[in-house]
């Protein structure tokens, strides 16, 4: 390509940089597959109705007396909806409807506790959504009281909540103190007005700051901020400005999620201006710049998309088995089993996953009819369990010793011969280093951790394309 200069040397330089850009683009295009986030394995599209209330009851009765639990409470309501949001949530203002939901969650807690048959200690409670504070404070307290009645909340129990800084009620600080909230996650996404207009979410730095202050004043010792890249009209510059604003709030952790655009599944995303979405190369540049800025600000990079201050529990857990993955992403949650309450909530037990029915009306109907609301899930085979552990360690530690893990599971590593071949393709692009059965993901490969994990996914390449379409692009 001869673009401008008469000078031969310059012309060569231009050609080289154009080639480098084209190479970078084709390199990214090669790896930009639709892939799961691997918050579970097998992944949610593989859940089926073979797991129902009876299966979950059976699994609950088998939880040993020595186990510690994690509890997740899903509140599928928001005061207003953001168009980019991929979560199970709707706008509900009727107090009667909110009361009915909170009542159902309390019944579900009692029913699950009855199946377990003993009052087990709780390591971690997570209030997620939606926006949990869209439940009036007395309803949140009633659910908390039910948890405390049926389970053993200790001084060590971590209680986390997702909050929308725009809609935090004036009594939120008192509620957080009553619920003994230790960690809050604040959604920010991007502060640029053009991005906020495009996603239907107007949020100032000031309201974000006052939400973080309220949480800290109420006793929360950890403040997380969720950022998103790849949104309409978002640029490296808008994200850079957002990060410098966010850093003034001194968050303990930052999560940097790639916008998952799946409008064929999440209909509200159809109103987003698709032509304004950054392409995969622009998304990659945003993600790289954001990570650089956070690391330069002193944060430790954790797995694919988390950053934690040195000294934070997550930073300390990094590189150890204490860092794991659950449906919220990375966690240091120490529970032996996770039990989900509320519509669409997923439980993760040693035997497998069980998910509650998603539409709130169906959830209420099941609970009010005297049943558990489980509608689908998957029971793990021994091989699933081994693959799950390998995938989790790759996503958390960026390294794995396949032979050692197979030996622990009393299985032969030869079942991973196909995985090794797939890894060697990634190795050619420098995304993986492999020495025999030991796999290491270097820094260059970190943004492609899902691609590395996918090498161990026995179900991903099954000839059912509908499964692939459930996932967002990896970059």
Ligand X SMILES: C[S@@+](CC[C@H](N)C(=O)[O-])C[C@H]1O[C@@H](n2cnc3c(N)ncnc32)[C@H](O)[C@@H]1O
Given the rule CB under 6 A, which residues bind ligand X? 78, 84-87, 129, 131, 162, 164, 187, 226, 228, 257, 259-260
63 or 163: CB nearest ligand X? 163
Helices marked H in 62-131? 95-116
In whole angstroms, the minimum distance from the beta carbon of 183 to ligand SF4 comes to 17
| Nearest position to ligand X, beta carbon | 187
How far is C-alpha 137 from the chain's CA centre? Answer: 26
> Cα separation of 202 and 199, whole Å?
8
In whole angstroms, the minimum distance from the beta carbon of 163 to ligand SF4 comes to 9
* Bridge partners of residue 74, in order along the sequence: 128
User: 226 is in the binding site of which of ligand SF4, ligand X, none (Cβ under 5 to 8 A by kind)?
Assistant: ligand X
Q: Does 165 bind ligand SF4 (CB under 6 A)?
A: no
Residues 265-304 that bind ligand SF4 (CB under 6 A): none
Q: Does 342 bind ligand SF4 (CB under 6 A)?
A: no
> Cα separation of 59 and 49, whole Å?
16
Q: Supply the Cα-derived Rg of the chain in whole angstroms.
A: 23
CA angle, 344 as apex, 162 and 108 as ends, to 5°? Answer: 90
User: 297 is in the binding site of which of ligand X, ligand SF4, none (Cβ under 5 to 8 A by kind)?
Assistant: none
> Taking CB under 6 A as the rule, which mask of x and - marks residues 178-207 in contact with ligand SF4?
---------x--------------------
CB 173 within 8 A of CB 214: yes
In whole angstroms, the minimum distance from the beta carbon of 292 to ligand SF4 comes to 26
| Nearest position to ligand SF4, beta carbon | 85
195 or 419: CB nearest ligand X? 195
Selected binder of ligand SF4 within 14, 67, 87, 282 (CB under 6 A): 87
CB 374 within 8 A of CB 56: yes
Selected binder of ligand SF4 within 44, 46, 78, 426 (CB under 6 A): 78
In whole angstroms, the minimum distance from the beta carbon of 165 to ligand SF4 comes to 10
Q: Does 82 bind ligand SF4 (CB under 6 A)?
A: yes
Selected binder of ligand SF4 within 32, 57, 106, 131 (CB under 6 A): 131
445 torsion bin: left (phi>0), alpha (psi -120 to 50), beta (else): alpha
CA angle, 387 as apex, 386 and 392 as ends, to 5°? Answer: 100
What the block records as the tokens of 443 is 């820094």
Q: Contacts with ligand SF4: how many residues (CB under 6 A)?
A: 11
CA-based nearest residue to 37, from 406, 303, 341:
303
What the block records as the tokens of 232 is 């309409």
In sequence order, the 6+-apart residues with CB closer than 8 A to the CB of 54 are: none
Binding site for ligand SF4 (CB under 6 A): 78, 81-82, 85, 87, 89, 129-131, 164, 187
């Amino acid at each position: 390509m001869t673009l401008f200069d008469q000078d031969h040397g310059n012309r060569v330089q231009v050609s080289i940089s154009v080639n480098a850009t084209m190479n970078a683009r084709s390199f990214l295009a090669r790896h930009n597959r639709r892939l799961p986030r691997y918050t579970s394995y097998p992944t949610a599209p593989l859940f089926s109705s073979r797991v129902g209330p009876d299966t979950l009851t059976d699994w609950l009765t088998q939880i040993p007396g020595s186990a510690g639990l994690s509890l997740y409470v899903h509140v599928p309501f928001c005061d207003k909806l953001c168009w980019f949001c991929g979560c199970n949530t709707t706008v509900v203002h009727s107090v009667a409807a909110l009361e009915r939901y909170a009542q159902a969650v309390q019944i579900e807690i009692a029913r699950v506790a009855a199946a377990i048959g003993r009052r087990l200690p709780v390591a971690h409670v997570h209030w997620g959504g939606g926006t949990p504070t869209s439940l009036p404070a007395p309803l949140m307290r009633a659910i908390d009281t039910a948890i405390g009645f049926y389970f053993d909340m200790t001084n060590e129990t971590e209680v986390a909540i997702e909050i929308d800084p725009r809609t935090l009620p004036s009594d939120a600080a008192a509620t957080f103190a009553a619920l003994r909230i230790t960690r809050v996650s604040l959604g920010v996404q991007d502060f640029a007005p053009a991005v906020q207009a495009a996603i239907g979410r107007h949020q100032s730095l000031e309201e974000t700051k006052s939400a973080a202050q309220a949480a800290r004043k109420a006793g929360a010792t950890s403040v997380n901020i969720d950022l998103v890249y790849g949104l309409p009209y978002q640029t490296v510059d808008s994200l850079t400005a957002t990060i410098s604003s966010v850093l003034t709030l001194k968050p303990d952790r930052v999560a940097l999620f790639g916008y998952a655009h799946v409008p064929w599944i999440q209909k509200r995303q159809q109103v987003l201006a698709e032509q304004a979405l950054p392409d995969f190369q622009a998304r990659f540049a945003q993600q790289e710049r954001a990570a650089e800025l956070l690391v330069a600000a002193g944060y430790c990079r954790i797995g694919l998309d988390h950053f934690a201050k040195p000294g934070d529990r997550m930073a300390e857990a990094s590189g150890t088995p204490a860092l794991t993955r659950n449906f919220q992403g990375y966690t240091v949650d120490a529970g032996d089993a996770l039990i989900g309450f509320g519509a669409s909530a997923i439980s993760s037990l040693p035997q497998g996953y069980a998910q509650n029915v998603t539409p709130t009306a169906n959830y209420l109907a099941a609970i009010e009819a005297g049943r558990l609301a489980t509608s689908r899930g998957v029971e793990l085979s021994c091989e699933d369990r081994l693959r799950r552990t390998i995938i989790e360690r790759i996503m958390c530690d960026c390294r794995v010793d396949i032979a050692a893990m197979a030996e622990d599971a009393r299985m032969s590593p030869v079942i991973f011969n196909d995985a090794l071949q797939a890894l060697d393709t990634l190795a050619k692009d420098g995304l993986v280093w492999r020495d025999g059965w030991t796999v290491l993901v270097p820094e260059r490969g970190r943004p492609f951790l899902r691609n590395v994990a996918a090498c161990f996914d026995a179900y991903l390449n099954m000839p059912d394309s509908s499964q692939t379409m459930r996932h967002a692009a990896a970059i």
